Amino acid sequence: MPGSVSLSGFVAAALVVLLIPGPGVLYIVARSLSQGQRAGFVSVLGLSVGALVHVAAATVGLSAILLTSATAFGIVKTLGAGYLIYLGIRTLWARHASAGVDASAPRSLYRLFTDGIVVSVLNPKIALFFLAFLPQFVEPSRGPLPQQVLFLGLLYVTLALFTDSAYAFLAARLRRWLGGRVMQGPLPQYAGGVVYIGLGVSTALADRH
């Protein structure tokens, strides 16, 4: 395990990164605004489980493939971008297809969870982030490097679980505060659809630097 100085520095740096709203936070906020606090928390869990895949990949060095292989990066990037854009179009079309209040049928908690996993796993930026971020706090003199990378990765995911949950809670509170016709109308669905499509485009334009 890294020393106390490196560990405290890692926690501080990780919190700074996590508190800055990024694609994951926008995804969670969109879910919380459209379906409420429980949906937001389930989405957080899905993203966290997906992040564990990247932690495992970073631990065994598989993330390096995405950094060195343009083909591998392109495949993962295309799949991730396509899925996000699909979610956005599906959200927008569900509301457009019918004039009824319940046209945009809420996704089940299981689907919210699996969607979070897929979005996280198919985001190459997460893999590259772990590959670039974690090694800065590894100390070769403190023991086997894979074990240190694994520990730091798990710690990061744990911190993300708390910060992302805070965003889900705040977004759900905003949803309840707005309440009434605003949240029952098309605004949450349209906003969520635009967010998903924006995340997909952002992922599609990502490069390996």
| Residue-wise pLDDT tens digits, 169-190 | 998 888 888 764 444 555 556 6
Tell me, what's the pLDDT at 125?
Answer: 67
Q: Hey, where are the domains in the chain?
A: 4-10+23-204
Max mean pLDDT among 7-11, 59-63, 199-203 falls in 7-11
Please write the tens of the pLDDT for every residue from 103-115: 345 678 898 999 8
Please write the tens of the pLDDT for every residue from 41-93: 999 999 999 999 989 988 887 666 666 777 776 776 677 678 778 877 877 77
Reduce the DSSP state of residue 142 to 3 states and report it.
helix
Measured CA to CA, the distance from residue 71 to residue 66 in angstroms comes to: 8
Is it the case that residue 96 has pLDDT exceeding 50? Answer: no
pTM of the complete model: 0.69
Query: What's the mean per-residue pLDDT of the chain?
Result: 76
Q: Write the CB contacts of 18 (distance below 8 Å, at least 6 apart in sequence).
A: 159, 160, 163, 164
